[in-house]
Each structure stands twice: as C-alpha cells, then as structure tokens.
Amino acid sequence: MVARPAPTVHPFPDVVSLGRAAAHELCRVVASALAIRPHCHIVLSGGRAPRELYRALAADFREEIPWDRMHLFWTDERYVPEDDPRSNYRLAREALLDHVPVPRHNVHPMPTDLHDSEDAAEAYAETLRAHFSGPWPRFDLVLLGLGSDGHTASLFPGSRAVAEKERWVMAVRAPVKPSRRLTLTLPAINRARNVWFLVSGTEKASALRSVLMESPQPQRCPAAGVRPINGSVTWWTDSAASARLGLPGRPPNRPLLE
C-alpha cells in the first residue's frame, strides 16, 4: 500500500487573508500544471471561504492566470436554477467568473434544468468524460468546503453516495435545504492531484478537529473520506475554525465535546 502524505494545514487569522493566500498559491498550481499540460482543470465549490478565494483571484490575480487554458468544473450543486441565490454556480459567477476573461465554453457548471436530477448527474459525468479519457477524472485542483456535520461537496453523513465506488457524479438528497443536489463522488475527488479544503468559522472547529485528529469513518464524517490516491490535501483555515487544533501560538485545545 502506498503511504499517503500527511495533510498540510495553513492557519490564517481571518477568512480574507486565507482567501488571498490560497489565491496566490492557486496561481502556482496553475503555472505548474500548464508547464507540462495544455490545460488546467480546477473544480470549484460553494461556501464562504471558497468565495473569498474567488474574490481574491478576481481582484488581485486576474492577470496571473491564462484563462483560455483553464477549465472550471463544480464539486456539487444545489438543484436550483443557475440564477437562484442558492446556486453554487451563481456564487462563483458573481465572485469570479464575471470579472475574469475565462471563455464561456471553458466553464462547466452542473446542469440543473433537467426534470430528473439523475439524468443531470449522468449528463455531467459525460461532460467530464469529454475532458478525461481514463477510468477516473484527474483534476489539477479540487476546492472543497467543510460542513459543521462533516459533510463536504454534497456528501452528507449517512448518505449512500459516500460509499459510491463507480459513478463520478450522483444525484443526492441532502438533509438540509435545498435538498436536491448533484455531487462528485469520493473516488472522483480522490484522483485529483491537489485537494484543498477552505474552512472558516467557529461552527467548523469540532468537525475540523475530528477530521484531522480522529480519523472518523467517512459514513459519519464524509470529509474524512477525502484521501487522494496520488495527490495531496491542504487545509486552509481561519483562526476560528482551527481553534481546537492546538496549533502553535493558538489558544490551548479545549475538549472536543463540552
């Protein structure tokens, strides 16, 4: 069995500095990918910390990225119209895509306009297969959030999707609204070269500590199932989220359960 490298944790005082540092590093990942391949494939996510990264990219790093060589995908989507305020595509569009010269045909949002979300999941898998000829997609970078319940993408505790071994994309029902969603599966995420979790806020502190220090079962904490086979995991956190990790210079750990 190949040993997986330990995850790296980058703590920042606040979500804005987290977003800016991650944007800077994202440019480095893009440059490395484009030095050896014609295109760079990045998977975007919803959530507050990813939004700060998108804003920083648009504001400060717009000129650093050859946008015509980028292909952008999504980890998951709420099954709502693309202009709905709850849409993850809309979040990325408003924070990033409207402000950078990425060609429209390089942007691949998950479809949410088919009657049956199972058909939409299959359609998105076909979209991915048009870019990746192997048995699994090989993204350069997957951006993920973390829920206070341990969910990531739209993989929620106890969901059958957490155990999926074959499909790349699934239609799921989340225990929170909006319930209908599409999500990449763990094996599709775990083929990525780089996976970044972007995590901010006090309400994430227990889940973050659990994933990093307790190795919970993925069925209980789906984020713990993110373990790239031939890639790295990096955690970008603000001080509120990392408060229970006992990092140097941080307040001492408090017990996980109080």
Asked whether the beta carbons of 30 and 70 are under 8 A apart, the reply is: yes
Closest approach of ligand 6PG to the CB of residue 77, in Å: 7
Reading phi first (left if > 0) and then psi (alpha if -120 to 50, else beta), residue 148 is in alpha
Evaluated on CA atoms 254, 224, 240, 179, the torsion sign reads: negative
Closest approach of ligand 6PG to the CB of residue 178, in Å: 9
**Residue closer to ligand 6PG, measured from CB, 187 or 201:** 201
Closest approach of ligand 6PG to the CB of residue 221, in Å: 13
What is each CA distance from 188 to 69, 124, 204, in whole angstroms? 22, 13, 24
List the interface residues with ligand 6PG, window 85-114 (CB under 6 A): 88
DSSP structure class, residue 202:
G
Q: Give the strand pairing for 70-74 and 40-44.
A: parallel
Q: Can you tell me the distance from the alpha carbon of 169 to that of 164, in angstroms, rounded to the nearest whole number?
A: 9
Helical ranges in 153-230 per DSSP H: 186-189, 205-214
| x/- track of binding to ligand 6PG for residues 39-58 (CB under 6 A) | ------xxxxx---------
**Residue closer to ligand 6PG, measured from CB, 88 or 190:** 88
Closest approach of ligand 6PG to the CB of residue 40, in Å: 21
List the interface residues with ligand 6PG, window 147-206 (CB under 6 A): 147, 151-154
Number of residues that bind ligand 6PG (CB under 6 A): 15
**Residue closer to ligand 6PG, measured from CB, 49 or 102:** 49
Judging by beta carbons within 10 Å of its beta carbon (0-12, 13-18, 19+), is residue 68 exposed, middle or buried? exposed
Closest approach of ligand 6PG to the CB of residue 127, in Å: 18
Q: Which tokens go with 79?
A: 């099954």
Closest approach of ligand 6PG to the CB of residue 147, in Å: 4
Verify binding: residue 238, ligand 6PG, rule CB under 6 A.
Answer: no
Verify binding: residue 145, ligand 6PG, rule CB under 6 A.
Answer: yes
Looking from the CA of 32 toward its CB, the CA atoms found within 13 Å total: 10
Verify binding: residue 222, ligand 6PG, rule CB under 6 A.
Answer: no
Nearest to 162 by CA among 136, 189, 186, 195: 186
Verify binding: residue 76, ligand 6PG, rule CB under 6 A.
Answer: yes
Q: Summarize as ranges the residues that interact with ligand 6PG (CB under 6 A).
A: 45-49, 76, 78, 88, 145-147, 151-154
